[in-house]
Amino acid sequence: MTAAVGRTWSRLTLTGRFLVVTVPILLALLIPLLVVLLLFGQNILDFLQANVALVRFVVAATAILLMTVPTAFLIIYMEMKVIALMNTRIGPDRVGPFGSLLSVVHGLKVLMKEDFTPTGVDPIVFTWAPVVVYLASVMSLLVIPFGPGLWGQADINLALLYFFAIGGLSVVGLLMAGWSSFNKYSLLGGLRSAAQVVSYEIPLTLSVVGLILLTGTMSLAKMVEGQSGSFLDWNMWKQPLGFLIFFIAATAEANRTPFDLTEADSEIVAGFATEYSGMRFGFFFFAEYVNVFIISALTVTLFLGGWTAPFDWPWPVAGGFDPGSLGIGLLILLAIVPVIGTLVLAAPFWAARSSMPAWQALIIGFVLFNLLVVVAIAGWAFVNLDWVVGLFWFLGKTYLFVFTFVWMRGTLPRVRIDQLMNFAWKWLLPASLLNLFVTAAAVVVIGIK
């Protein structure tokens, strides 16, 4: 019996093995879930209705946590592909379309590696350090406005202050990692990170004070609304020096090239992460790439109009189509259109290749039909829903800055630690103070708003 089961298992494809394992698990979880819903469904619904704010927070936090991993995978893929093209190489092209799934393979590789705790470390601090670093990045996303009415938790009046306060916690995690690792390279990397983040936090914060004086608010959503119109209304034209200082200081805050001295391979092996392996190293790894997205998103929000279009944009428009008005016809369409669409799209493939079985042609037609449906729904949403249009512009601008960070990594050399510190204290800090004083004088004396 055991031999027969073993032979059957060995003959299964990877997809078949996945289904054999997951389907029974899903069924085993589904039955208790249905029992709980039948017995306590009304009580659960009443609790959710009475605690809408709590439900919103849990849903927002879960959505943001789920969003960070594919965001990191996408930026990793961009880094591999863009730098390869800059070096006249092909880059990843084997795993997935155009090698797009190679970053997913890298993530799974990190997940499957042994999570080793070296001798002599402080195990509690050593374990919690990557969690602190990762959550500091994720929690700062809660106040980023992705579109009109579309943000993680809420549009609070002190959103900008909250962002800097939570983002500054990442240095605590880096210090925890360096101190607890019982390794001189790690300790040096942790101390470097503290010196770097503290030094560049000052010009970073001062660079946006002038912006606060002009807008009169620390609400990120209100700052975006104040830049609506065209690209000439963006804050980058009102605060060009502040924009430049913010971008440079944010690059250092995110430990990106040319300021990635906390894990300089040629000097201190891997800095604070030297003793980490497995998924604990993965948290540092993902946090770095999520920070690239966060810094890009905040730059777009503060200086490049956020979700607003760079010119007079005709969309969204008022859509007069109401599917509910079709009545029973809607159900008939939902039953007939997928079948007809699948057959119509499958027919050319079946007719073009006589050797193709009909079921393969039907699968191809079904996939193509669903892709067309998704494109049609996305097009309808883009034309009719303002938050979809805003999300389109916001992500477009944000990933333009992500590309810039990747470009910088493939172009600029790493600076020395003394150059890093001198530039912060001798150049960026005086420039940020100059920008602040000039802006304050313009607001008070001339009355510029």
Cα(432)–Cα(201) distance, rounded to whole angstroms? 11
Q: Which structure tokens are listed for 448? A: 């510029």
Give the per-residue pLDDT at 244: 94
Report which of 397, 409, 367, 434 is spatially closest to residue 295, judged by C-alpha positions: 397
pLDDT digits (tens, 9 = 90+) for 106-150: 888 877 877 777 788 888 888 888 888 888 888 888 888 888 877
Give the per-residue pLDDT at 309: 86
- The contacts of residue 58 (CB under 8 Å, 6+ apart) are none
Cα(308)–Cα(301) distance, rounded to whole angstroms? 9
How many CB atoms within 10 Å of residue 359? Answer: 10
Cα(299)–Cα(138) distance, rounded to whole angstroms? 17
pLDDT digits (tens, 9 = 90+) for 290-307: 889 999 999 999 999 888
217: exposed, middle or buried (Cβ count in 10 Å: 0-12, 13-18, 19+): middle
pLDDT digits (tens, 9 = 90+) for 399-419: 999 999 999 988 888 888 888
Inter-residue contact 155 to 144 (CB < 8 Å): no
The pTM is what? 0.81
pLDDT tens by residue, the chain, 449 residues: 556 556 666 666 666 666 667 777 877 777 777 777 777 767 777 777 777 777 777 777 788 888 888 888 889 899 888 989 888 888 888 887 888 888 888 888 877 877 777 788 888 888 888 888 888 888 888 888 888 877 766 678 888 888 988 888 888 888 888 888 888 888 888 888 888 888 898 999 999 999 999 888 888 988 998 888 888 889 999 999 999 999 999 998 888 888 877 766 666 676 787 888 788 888 888 888 888 999 999 999 999 988 888 887 776 666 556 665 666 666 677 778 888 888 888 888 777 776 777 777 788 888 888 888 888 888 877 777 788 888 889 999 999 999 999 999 888 888 888 888 899 999 999 999 999 999 988 888 876 65
Q: 3-class SS at 145?
A: strand
Give the per-residue pLDDT at 448: 62
